[in-house]
Amino acid sequence: SLFITAILLLLSLPVLTSALGMLLFDRLAGTHFFLPEGGGEPLLWQHLFWFFGHPEVYILILPSMGVASDVLSVFARKPIFGYRAMAFSMIAIAGLSWIVWGHHMFQSGMSPALGTSFMMSTMVIAVPSAIKTFNWLGTLWRGNIRFTTPMLFAIGFVSMFVIGGLSGIYMASTPVDIFIHDTYFIVAHIHYVVFGGSLLGAFAAIYYWFPKMFGRLMNETLGKIHFALTFVFFNGTFFPMHIIGVGGHMRRIYNPTQYEFLKPLQHWNVFMTVSALILGASQLLFIFNFFWSMFAGKRAARNPWQANTLEWEAPTPPPHGNFPGPVPTVYRGPYEYSSPLVSEDFLPQARRLEPHVTAAAH
């Protein structure tokens, strides 16, 4: 996931940089790239910005997808279901992300034929996303699940990503977008993907790799309380936005009660405001847990999660260069859980098995 993210960054950021340079020249040097009075085209800015902007969404969420795959496999004690399909679906998502930017511009006056092409490409990108979701669920199916804090956040990531993805299908439809464009439905969608997806994935990563970074475990009780508060009040903040968005509630207005048709929706605004305040306050629990555990948390073993991947072979915390001696030899893939070759339910990549053990298993 990080390799594909790096490629997206490498190819998308120059577009944004060029657009910002053109805008700067328009403001300071008298050029007219985007100014109509000089023959410029304001829509060019939208095209350049969104050509960067949609790959940027996947730049944010692809690392969390990789984290979720790692964490779900470790705590379900199973190999990742459909590993090759997971890898190829990530490549497909990255490739398709370059041809969907026009769905942000359905209301800009573009040709209906062009709008239809962007609608179809946007709906097609749901296919590799659905493959990943199916395989995450397949990884969990009949697993020996350990409900640790990283696992809870990874499961939360999958569930929020599903909601964000489903709302994206509605937005991809040009007839539907006429009614929900620039409403709170759009705000709900992007927050379920970016906050519910990227941030919950980031929390899963922090709780999971914290012992390797600092040699101590974060407090599990505080972590689970943090997850519960974040999950409940995240949904309390953003799920009602679907409701008021369908009701026609516009974005970026100062006082919704000035509009008669929005007054019946005001109680949802109050509810979301209270939920957002509690959601923000609950992150103080994470900050406390992070710094308290850094200095006073329980000492962690080298491999506290009984994981297979190579980083857990390094000392905790890792020294300069990760490994004090020779780099360990990798003998197998990273997700050999519940292997018949050993009595434990995990088999690290760097553990060498005698040939007669492998032969006996076959």
Domain membership of residue 85 (yes or no) is yes
Determine if the pTM surpasses 0.85: yes
Domain of residue 338 covers: 301-362
For residues 129 and 224, membership in a common domain is answered with no
Q: Is residue 165 part of a domain?
A: no
What residues are paired with 299 via a beta bridge? Answer: 216
| 235-243 mean pLDDT | 97
Whether 321 and 220 map to the same domain: the answer is: no
The pLDDT tens digits of the residues spanning 280-336 come to 999 999 999 999 999 999 999 999 999 999 999 999 888 888 888 888 899 988 898
Q: Based on the domain organization, do 8 and 110 belong to the same domain? A: yes
Q: Let me know: does 129 contact 64? Beta carbons within 8 Å.
A: no
Which of 261, 281, 300 represents a domain boundary (last residue)? 300
**Residue 221 and residue 295 share a domain:** yes
Residue 92 located in a structural domain:
yes
pLDDT at 356: 53
- Confidence grade of residue 359 (pLDDT, cut at 50, 70, 90): very low
Same domain for 211 and 319, yes or no, is no
Query: Do 194 and 127 share a structural domain?
Result: no
Instruction: Answer yes or no: do 110 and 215 share one domain.
Output: no
Same domain, 51 and 95: yes
**Cis amide bond preceding 317, omega within 30:** yes
Domain termination site, one of 102, 129, 146: 146
Residue 28 lies in a domain: no
Q: Is residue 188 part of a domain?
A: yes
Provide the 8-state DSSP code for 313: G
* Mean pLDDT to the nearest integer, 99-124: 93
Q: What is the mean pLDDT of the chain?
A: 93
Same-domain status, 337 and 289: no
Alpha carbons 344 and 175: distance in angstroms, whole number: 55
- For residues 234 and 196, give the distance between their C-alpha atoms in angstroms, rounded to a whole number: 8
pLDDT value of residue 358: 54
How far is 340 from 322, CA to CA, in rounded Å? 30
Show the DSSP H helices in 98-140 as ranges.
112-124, 126-140
Predicted confidence (pLDDT) per residue in 179-234, tens digit = 999 999 999 999 999 888 899 999 999 999 999 999 999 999 999 999 999 999 99
Residue 127: CB partners within 8 Å, gap ≥ 6?
Answer: 92
201 found inside a domain: yes
